[in-house]
Amino acid sequence: MHKALSSRQCFFLLKEIFVYAIIILIMRFTGGNMKISQIVDVLQADVLCCENLVNHEVISACASDMMSDVLAFVKDQAVLITGLSNPQVIRTALMMDIRCIVYVRGKKPDALSIELAKANSIVLLSSKARMFPACGLLYEAGLKGGDLKV
């Protein structure tokens, strides 16, 4: 049996839908760049470190659990979406000028990864979304994928 929503719950639900619709419209007309704070909103993510950098923009996204695939990714100033949570992810991000890492499926990095990210100004996020839906939500909100090396 379904329980009816209260007027307060309806208000907050409509507010969330409205905010999400505004984000989509903004992204459609601004060329695909996205602020990290918007990624936080779209993926309902927790900021794990470098909260002061969430107003920085990323220009594209890459999703992989294989860091060798990430190394084939060309564009810098990107967000990496991954389920891999070891320090190698941070080291790979440093080589590729990745500004933000989103850990999916509720994963969280270890203390060494967090320290490496802080020392190198890489924003770390954790989202309960799985990788494919997270990619779809970000794409729908206007963030594009990057190119592969040829």
Of 12-16, 73-77, 91-95, least confident by mean pLDDT is 73-77
pLDDT band at 91 (very low <50, low <70, confident <90, very high): very high
Share in percent of the chain as helix, strand, coil (round to 5):
45, 20, 35
Above pLDDT 70, what percent of the chain? 82
12-16, 67-71, 102-106, 145-149: the lowest-pLDDT one: 145-149
Spatial distance between the Cα atoms of 47 and 145, rounded to a whole number of angstroms: 22
Q: Which of 53, 51, 134 is nearest to 99 (CA)?
A: 53
CB 109 within 8 A of CB 48: yes
Going from the N-terminus, what domains does the chain have, and what CATH number goes with each? 7-140 (3.40.1390.20)
Taking 80 as the threshold, does the pLDDT of residue 131 lie above it?
yes
Torsions phi, psi of 50, nearest 5? 60, 45
Q: Which amino acid is at 18?
A: F
Q: What is the per-residue pLDDT for 68?
A: 83
Pairing status of strand 57-58 against strand 34-35:
antiparallel
Residue 27 in this model has a pLDDT that exceeds 50: no
Does the pLDDT of residue 30 top 90, yes or no? no
Quick check: 11 pLDDT over 90?
no
The pair of structure tokens assigned to 118 is: 């802080």
| Average pLDDT over all residues of the chain | 84
